Structure 1
Amino acid sequence: MQALKHFRIDFVITAAVLVVAFLYDSWAGVGLTAILIVVEIVFSFDNAAVNAKYLDRLNHFWQTMFLTVGVIVAVFGMRLVFPFVIVCLSGSISPWSALNLALEKGDPHTPGTYGYILTEAHPAIAAFGGMFLLLLFLDFMFDEDREISWLTWIEKPLKKLGKLDVLSVIIAGIFLLVASETLVHETHVHTAVQMRSIVLFSGLLGIILYLAVSGLSTMMEEREAAKDHEFEEADAHSSTGQKVLLAGKAAFSMFIFLEVLDATFSFDGVIGAFAITPDPIIIMLGLGVGAMYVRSMTIFLVRNGTLAEYRFLENGAHWAIGALAVMLVISIRYDLGEFVIGGVGIAFILAAWASSILANKRDAVAEGATDSTEQGANV
């Protein structure tokens, strides 16, 4: 019941969007929009789990900003404007021509159509998003301060490797070089050499953006922590161990990081949606509402302490990110399909969730046995 109340606004907006889809394209529009909503929600749960980790460090105001302003950016920015810009740049056409192509709803397999041009840009988008997500995954695995390990046989050795500060960048760079040499092939528009340059440039741009946004966020967070240090010592709550939430510039930089992270997650979904329908309006409606649910899910995970309750969920989400990063890069040459990419992420999340439940049960049994032993000793 509490979950239903949390998503009540999402339900209202969903109903309104389905009405708009009906007015736009009758029942066919309603069906396609509903399918896209479900696909976006199911395949983006790992996004919600990872976002919750960072959103948990922001105060209530910035959490609300993530759910309001952030949704506007996600819906109109990534689901409508971003594909439009990509088509303009990749097709070397004017915005007016791109708009006409979008309204024509051409078959994405037909050269010259909106969906076709966007699909042709997939290698560059995959390289950019793959490198950004790969660095996020590697930095998590190499974090020496991380207390919880899920797949201990591999996570603990990776933590030890974290003593090398630039190891994640080195690995990402090597992976990008190997991918550009082995996965890139010529297209109808570009030669193999041109595509290799495009993939290298896009991947390098993803690495630079991650380092810039992540570094800015870390710097602002450290500065905020330094300013609040004396206050925490004097604060009566500090003795209780209450968590200090980010605000001001530190919170803003974290908010920007979350927006970039969310955008990176949405790359494959936006392009994959053209396999369902070539209509960019229906795509925006369906993926936009799905993105709204994912953000509400993120808030729900934070305010209900789900990550703390299910201890391995964060680890599973990052493994899902690592898998997504690798599959994005592989998709430069091979079509893996939305269900494979989304299914692998869901499998990691469900496995981590099940492992957390088992661990909680073991802890409960051990605690019960300890209590029984203490009671027996007292008697």
Structure 2
Amino acid sequence: MILKTFGWSFAVTIIALVVAFFYGGPEALILCIILGILEVSLSFDNAVVNARILERMNAFWQKMFLSVGIIIAVFGMRILFPLLIVGVTAGLNPVEAVTLAMEKGDPHTPGSYGYLLHEAHPQIAAFGGMFLLMLFLDFILAHRDIKWIKFLEIPLARLGKLEGASLIAGMAALAIAGAVSGEKQGIVLLSGLLGMITYFLVNGLGNLFDVDADGDVDAADADRVVHSGPSGSAKLAGKAAFMLFLYLEVIDASFSFDGVIGAFAITSDPIIIALGLGFIGAMFVRSLTVFLVREGTLDEYEYLDHGAHWAIGALAVILLITIVTPINEIITGLIGVVFIGAAFTGSILRNRRASAAKQDETLEPANA
């Protein structure tokens, strides 16, 4: 199972490392490994959220995520997105942006590729931070039978009964981010607002096709659902699955913002960044996502959903804070790992308690 799921990731990693070595020698090889580890550590929560969405799709759309989705993740977000941002920010055409990128200038040198991308960080962080914050708020403010951090999740669920609670909280956070962003206030507010609009748009498209939070559809839309597995669980197909695929890609893109920007603190070479973040990191994140779906891990360890969304909330806050002051990527990655690890541990303890209670119920009639 491990080899079947992660086989392509291991193969691509070996190829990427060989290319990095021949491209820049041992130093490039080491940098490539570091960037790959950085991307995976930052994306544990991404994999959990991806898996929860992916398990609602049929086999065809799951394969689309691994094929077309990986192309978008590697070439779109790790290569073209930085070029686009630099080109728009500096008023460069695509050829000039590529030429500037290949010069591998120091990120601290005005006019270099890394410097221009770093200068665009406030709007990138505002967009990605607000998108992820709305995702977190919609999850944590909803009523759920299963609760992990009860002393926080119970009162937050009560607060969620207020009409438009997530929108109010999101607008308040954006107002604070804009207030402390100084001369960047206008672009931060605009970018954050666009992040919120994008979230509501892609989330609303699912509702347009009658896809609810559990992946259920109306009877009139049965042609968009196939049944698979021994339990006959519904899997989305057609337009409904396509909307989920778009939603998944936007979420995946939002998660990649911090990794792309943080990579320039390690190296300004776009080739090494593409090899480390894209070909190694993005591939392993996708393999991990598929592994979680095929193993039914999210159903077995029920707190993982909560841990992932708390990590998303923390990442959103960190992105908004970095508009004003930088935060080390190691801290960002560790926060996600801590939340996921704690949720996994909590799920194991919960399962053990449930198993012990079930055994006690079985023993009581026998003793009687």
Match of 2:203 in 1: 214
Which is higher, the Rg of structure 1 or of structure 2? Answer: 1
C-alpha distance 231-280 of structure 1, shift in aligned 2 (>3 A)? closer
C-alpha distance 236-344 of structure 1, shift in aligned 2 (>3 A)? closer
* Within-5 A mapping of 1:125-144: 125-144=124-143
Match of 1:169 among 167, 170, 179: 167
Read off the aligned partner of 2:51 and give its amino acid letter: A
The alpha carbon displacement at 1:216 in A equals 0.2
The alpha carbon displacement at 1:161 in A equals 2.4
Corresponding residue SS for 2:302? coil
Match of 1:83 in 2: 82
Corresponding residue SS for 2:233? coil
* Within-5 A mapping of 1:298-337: 298-337=289-328
Deviations 1:229-256 (A, max 9, x none): 7789xx9999x96321111000000000
Read off the aligned partner of 2:189 and give its amino acid letter: L
C-alpha distance 11-228 of structure 1, shift in aligned 2 (>3 A)? farther
In the alignment, the residues of structure 2 paired with residue 137 and residue 236 of structure 1 have an alpha-carbon distance, to the nearest angstrom, of 30
Corresponding residue SS for 1:107? coil
Read off the aligned partner of 1:141 and give its amino acid letter: I
In the alignment, the residues of structure 2 paired with residue 342 and residue 327 of structure 1 have an alpha-carbon distance, to the nearest angstrom, of 11
Match of 1:366 in 2: 357
Match of 1:226 in 2: 218
Consecutive unaligned residues of structure 1, counting only runs of 5 or more, are: 186-191
Corresponding residue SS for 1:245? strand
Once superposed, what is the RMSD of the aligned Cα atoms? Answer: 2.0
Read off the aligned partner of 1:43 and give its amino acid letter: L
Match of 1:155 among 153, 156, 179: 153
C-alpha distance 171-18 of structure 1, shift in aligned 2 (>3 A)? same
C-alpha distance 237-208 of structure 1, shift in aligned 2 (>3 A)? closer
In the alignment, the residues of structure 1 paired with residue 227 and residue 195 of structure 2 have an alpha-carbon distance, to the nearest angstrom, of 43
In the alignment, the residues of structure 2 paired with residue 331 and residue 231 of structure 1 have an alpha-carbon distance, to the nearest angstrom, of 46
Match of 1:188 in 2: none
Consecutive unaligned residues of structure 2, counting only runs of 5 or more, are: none
Read off the aligned partner of 2:255 and give its amino acid letter: F
Read off the aligned partner of 1:206 and give its amino acid letter: G
Match of 2:252 in 1: 262
C-alpha distance 230-252 of structure 1, shift in aligned 2 (>3 A)? closer
Corresponding residue SS for 1:112? coil
In the alignment, the residues of structure 2 paired with residue 82 and residue 236 of structure 1 have an alpha-carbon distance, to the nearest angstrom, of 37
Given that 1:320 and 1:345 are in contact with CA atoms closer than 8 Å, whether structure 2 keeps it comes out as: yes
Q: How many residues align?
A: 363
Match of 2:190 in 1: 201
In the alignment, the residues of structure 2 paired with residue 354 and residue 245 of structure 1 have an alpha-carbon distance, to the nearest angstrom, of 29
Identity of aligned residues (%): 52
Q: TM-score when scaled to structure 2?
A: 0.94
Deviations 1:173-228 (A, max 9, x none): 1110111112x13xxxxxx1xx1100000000000000000000232243971145
The alpha carbon displacement at 1:43 in A equals 1.6
The alpha carbon displacement at 1:361 in A equals 1.0
Read off the aligned partner of 2:325 and give its amino acid letter: Y
Given that 1:221 and 1:246 are in contact with CA atoms closer than 8 Å, whether structure 2 keeps it comes out as: no
* Within-5 A mapping of 1:10-89: 10-89=9-88
The alpha carbon displacement at 1:162 in A equals 2.3
Corresponding residue SS for 1:244? strand
Give every structure 1 segment of 4 or more consecutive aligned residues whose post-TM-superposition deviation is greater than 6 Å.
229-232, 235-238
Corresponding residue SS for 2:39? helix
Match of 1:278 in 2: 268
